[in-house]
């Protein structure tokens, strides 16, 4: 398993090796995630705005994509004919038709396609694509919009070493990227793909608890959000197991252990485990 959080200087050191600045990048689906990935790649120097073309049937999405990234956006997939790499950011039910359109537009050309459609497997993607296409399946999450995403990705059967690096670094420009086997991609969807919603629910509940204890709503929400951010940063930056960090703030007979005892009795731990499992199973259903 590999994890990367690509800094600008790190990206630039590899960009020369793989000639990323002259890469032609196409995007099918100019929604929030497609826009975030392109904006991150441009900020990191992985690609120039003038070398990016976006495609979306919705005028508003095209306008916002161009405004945010500085790249051109249109409605015709035929405009992607010169692209070397394509980000496929459509809904799962639109994948097969999008693949047909790309195959027609890039007839005879070998193209790296990175799909972020939930549940759609590499074999399904490869079956829908032209045989010369190289497929990577990825699952980023919405914090990529602010450069704090967590993405998992897996390789197809036709990928080169350079393809793997391209995906790893493109996804790493907006957070961290973890390579996993295909069989674990639905678990990535259930955990980090859906996980921000679980955390938002926890933040909202913590804030409600603060309000119940007498804090003003705005103060309670800020304190709850910053507490979650700080705790997550501690896990990432110290490398300590969460249980170790938990014990550091849990003194005998103190306030924290009293609160933790309630959470254990109410089943918070098992509820989160089951939530990830349910979302994982749903991702598998979407793929079928």
Asked if 111 and 275 count as a contact pair (C-beta separation under 8 A), the reply is no
Domain residue limits, the chain:
2-182, 195-287
Residue 136: C-alpha distances to residues 154, 171, 233 (Å): 6, 12, 29
Six-digit token pair at 149? 């995403």
Q: What mean pLDDT is reported for the chain?
A: 89
- Taking the C-alpha atoms of residue 257 and residue 263, their distance in angstroms, rounded to an integer, is 10
For the ranges 1-15, 71-85, 173-187, which has the lowest average pLDDT?
A: 1-15
Write down the residue that tokens 């598998």 correspond to: 284
- Superfamily for the 2-182 domain: NAD(P)-binding Rossmann-like Domain (3.40.50.720)
Burial class (CB in 10 A: 0-12, 13-18, 19+), 56: buried
pLDDT tens-place string over residues 47-101? 899 999 999 999 999 999 999 999 999 888 888 888 889 999 988 888 888 888 8
Is the model's pLDDT at 19 over the cut of 70? Answer: no
Looking at the DSSP bridge assignments, the partners of residue 136 are 114, 155
pLDDT tens-place string over residues 188-231? 999 999 999 999 999 999 999 999 999 999 999 999 999 999 99
User: Residue 45: pLDDT band by 50, 70, 90 thresholds?
Assistant: confident
Asked if 55 and 81 count as a contact pair (C-beta separation under 8 A), the reply is no
pLDDT tens-place string over residues 235-274? 999 999 999 999 999 999 999 999 999 999 999 999 999 9
Residue 63: C-alpha distances to residues 27, 75, 142, 272 (Å): 14, 11, 20, 38
Q: For the chain, what percent of residues have pLDDT higher than 70? A: 92
- Superfamily for the 195-287 domain: ProC C-terminal domain-like (1.10.3730.10)
Inter-axis angle of helices 217-238 and 195-212, nearest 10? 130
For the ranges 5-14, 259-268, 270-279, which has the lowest average pLDDT?
A: 5-14
């Amino acid at each position: 398993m590999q994890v990367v959080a690509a800094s600008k200087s790190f990206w630039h050191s590899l960009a020369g090796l793989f000639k990323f600045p002259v890469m032609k990048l196409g995007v099918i689906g100019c929604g929030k995630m497609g826009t975030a990935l392109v904006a991150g790649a441009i900020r990191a120097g992985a690609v120039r705005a003038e070398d990016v073309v976006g495609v979306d049937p919705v005028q508003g999405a095209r306008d916002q994509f161009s405004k945010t990234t500085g790249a051109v956006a249109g409605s015709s997939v035929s405009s992607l004919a010169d692209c070397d790499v394509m980000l496929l950011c459509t809904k799962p039910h639109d994948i097969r038709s999008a693949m047909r359109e790309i195959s027609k537009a890039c007839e005879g050309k070998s193209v790296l396609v990175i799909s972020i459609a939930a549940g759609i497997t590499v074999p399904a993607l490869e079956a829908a694509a032209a045989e010369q296409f190289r497929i990577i399946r990825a699952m980023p999450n919405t914090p990529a919009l602010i450069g704090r995403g967590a993405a998992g990705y897996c390789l197809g059967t036709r990928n080169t070493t350079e393809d793997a690096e391209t995906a790893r670094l493109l996804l790493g420009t907006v957070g961290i990227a973890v390579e996993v086997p295909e069989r674990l991609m639905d678990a990535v969807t259930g955990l980090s793909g859906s996980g921000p919603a679980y955390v938002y629910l926890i933040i909202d509940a913590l804030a409600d608890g603060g309000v119940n204890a007498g804090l003003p709503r705005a103060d309670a929400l800020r304190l709850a959000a910053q507490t979650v951010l700080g705790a997550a940063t501690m896990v990432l930056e110290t490398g300590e197991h969460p249980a170790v960090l938990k014990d550091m703030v849990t003194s005998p007979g103190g306030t924290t252990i009293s609160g933790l005892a309630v959470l254990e009795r109410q089943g918070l731990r098992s509820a989160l485990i089951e939530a990830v499992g349910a979302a994982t199973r749903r991702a598998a259903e979407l793929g079928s």
